[in-house]
Copies of this chain bind each other. A is one copy, B any other.
Amino acid sequence: MDEALAEARAAAARGEIPVGAVVLGPGGGILARAGNRTEADSDASAHAELLALRAAAQRQRSPRLIGCDLVVTLEPCPMCAQAISLFRIRRLVFGAYDPKGGGVEHGPRIYDASSCHHRPEVIGGVRETDSAALLRAFFRDRRP
């Protein structure tokens, strides 16, 4: 989570919403890391999770990340939650809960749908105070 928080801080420094993610391989080593890049890339789907998943899959040369884990500073949105399932991530660890935009414990609760083919193990609220503080500081500095 330290590495994911570092990615979130780097995103904030670029003017992006501070969310960071890391993909860990089956042995625990870091396969890929990313921060939010929606503005820099002109890409509304360039969330930290999706970027890290794609980079890890490129590195593994496989569209499925069997036995890999994803660590992210914020509860994934429905898009990223479904992508985590499509990439066959084993365990999802996230920081702050996101009642407004989350898709795991809130909103459409992607893994609760009976049509969901692969459900990762989910551990939420890990260092949520640090993750939430980054987000609060970012939005506070942006609002008049």
Contact = CB atoms under 8 A, between A and B. Distances in A.
B43 A57 contact: yes
A106 B87 CA distance: 21
Which of A60, A62, A99 has its CB near the most chain B CB atoms (within 10 A)? A62
Contact of A82 (B42, B77, B114): B77
- Interface size band for A: 35 or more
Copies of this subunit: 2
A108 B102 CA distance: 13
15 contacts: A41-B63, A42-B63, A43-B54, A43-B63, A44-B53, A44-B87, A44-B88, A45-B86, A78-B79, A79-B86, A101-B115, A107-B113, A107-B116, A108-B109, A108-B112
